[in-house]
Structure 1
Amino acid sequence: MDTQQNTALKRALAEVPGPLPTSGVIHIVIPHTDRFTVVGNHLAQHPDLSCTAIGIAVRIQSLPQGVEVSIKALAAHCREGEKRIATGLRELEDFGYLQRVRDRLPSGRVITRTVFCNQPTALLRPRSPSVAPAPPPAPAQTVTPAPAAEQPLPAELPELREPSGTPAPEAPAPLPVRPPLPQAPPFVPLPPSLPLVPPPTAPKPPPRPLPRPSEPTPELDREATAFLSDLHRHAPRFMLTEDDVRQLVPGVAAWLERAAHPDAMRHALTDDPPVPLRRPALLLRHRLTELLPPAPPGVRERAALARRPRVAVTPFQTCDGCDRAFRSPTPGHCRDCREDRAYRTEAARIAA
């Protein structure tokens, strides 16, 4: 008894003419009289555009000319985040509905103009000049020509009359002349500010591969597996299967190798997910690839130094004569003490 029933919709449903379908949607069409926008089915039922891109296109089409439609301006009035809006705008650009044109003002300032076309396929074919329909000719009375025996004689012959004295039949009225058709206006080309939109035939680049650690180790593999297996405890939407964990382990190991903290990784990979989240593994793979942090300074240099062959270093020794430090593989005397001892020995030999 506490549930409010919408009886107005049931009354409107009862007034729908014809038999109602047993399944599928039933349309109750109420004509708009103000504040409405005409949207073509080529956009509303586009097979390759996402629902987010179609909604953004309808919103832009309903705005008056001159309103800002940047990512931040749309995010301020929509529930979607800036990332989803940016993705939707890129989809509209790929299919020709949206185009950003750089223009230079007379003052020298360069600005970006956002051009939206509600039917881009119409720009790909030449515009046919609009010909005003010719007004229908006025209904003229149909006159049946007289037989050859009853045709009027030339003017120079005397007028013939019936024996009873009645005048001869008058000549038939001339047939009405159809007015000439109005000439079509000359063909007007498209303005140069709206270039033709090329069809979306350019192939999309292949997706980037999942990052991998430069030196995979069993410790990195265990930490990455534990991180992915425990992810659903912090973000319940990211419930992964065993195959998903096995495929995403190299990407998480690459993050851990670059000294990424697990809490920072968890926030970067799970914050602001799309609604609804249908395939969390694909979202994690995309973010692991696109948001890979840079390597900390010194890691590559230390790795190259570790692979460099080591050079034997001569240790320091203390001189037995003067206690001076010098490099030598074995203990003994420094160079000065050795030279002094050699000089004294030579002097003693000469004196003897």
Structure 2
Amino acid sequence: MSVVELPAVRPTLADVACAAGVSVATASRVLNGFPGVRPETRTQVESAMTTLGYARQRAARSATPPCTGSIALIVCEDVLRLFADPYFARVVSGVSKELPNAGMQLVLLAVPSTEDHRTWVARYLKGRHVDGALVVSMHGRRPLDLDWLDIPLVFGGRPDNGEVPDRHSYVDVDNRGGAEGATRYLIGAGRTKVATVAGPQDMTVGADRLRGYWQAVVEAGRPDRGMVVFGDFGQGSGEHATARLLDRRPDVDAIFTASDLMAVGVLRALRRAGRRVPDDVAVIGFDGLPLGQRTAPPLTTVRQPIEEMGARMTRELVSMIGGPATPRRVVLDTELVVREST
């Protein structure tokens, strides 16, 4: 009887990662000598390579794009808006907390609405200069040629239906529920003329918060489209929208505002019009930014976990970079923080 000796199965990088108790992305960074990996983690991976007899397969690697050790954070706004709005700083803070554990560095890209900028960023991503990308503040337009980007993507906020291929993930907050709860709080406090300064309707976050407000006022039997004005999430737009609202509905006694920055503008417009807050008009914002504690009076707001959103997006992206992963649809809770503006 002859004995047939089967060829030995070569261990893969996934086997090494499993043996070391790390992700494939981390094992790859150790293999390629990238900085940012903790010494104890590097030792674990190298020990697993030795134990398993792992040998780098050059031919197979040549067909696979190299690991860059970088991820991109793409903000679909112009540079001035990126640095003026504290929301984005808190997203970056959440992302940055996860980067040391992942051994990654961050590339920050602002993408204004111009075609030239969108084309350049799409070309940059297609060139595999980063291993994956986080996308935030996405408007209804397609800021990137998503169908052709062969890198992992995670979106901050639920994109419009049909705008994102099924293979990508997103992390969102309960914008509709938060807005509905805030509006119900105003109605329950005895306010009878509840208006809203809504956000941009070409963004799902703006549309969802308006839907939440509308659900609450319809249930209370008080729908009035004249009570709805719009801003762009910035302070100036909140101020101008409130001036228009007071001209249209001078008897307004409460305003749910779709962002804290716009709420600051709302407070300024009410003060200029001689309206006392909260005696004449109650005001609620949305975001939970620290600036809400410093307004006069301190702002009641719907707090969303912005830093946790950035951190969760990063963890999801690193998981996708490490190997095949099922796309995730994550929705985080909000919390109404009551202060002196209501």
Tell me whether the two structures share a fold, i.e. TM-score over 0.5. no
User: What TM-score range do you get, normalising by the shorter chain?
Assistant: under 0.3
The structure with the greater share of residues assigned to helix is 2
The structure with the greater share of residues assigned to strand is 2
What TM-score, normalized by structure 1, do the two folds share? 0.20
More relative contact order, 1 or 2 (CA 8 Å, 6+ apart)? 2
Structure with higher Rg: it is 1
What TM-score, normalized by structure 2, do the two folds share? 0.21
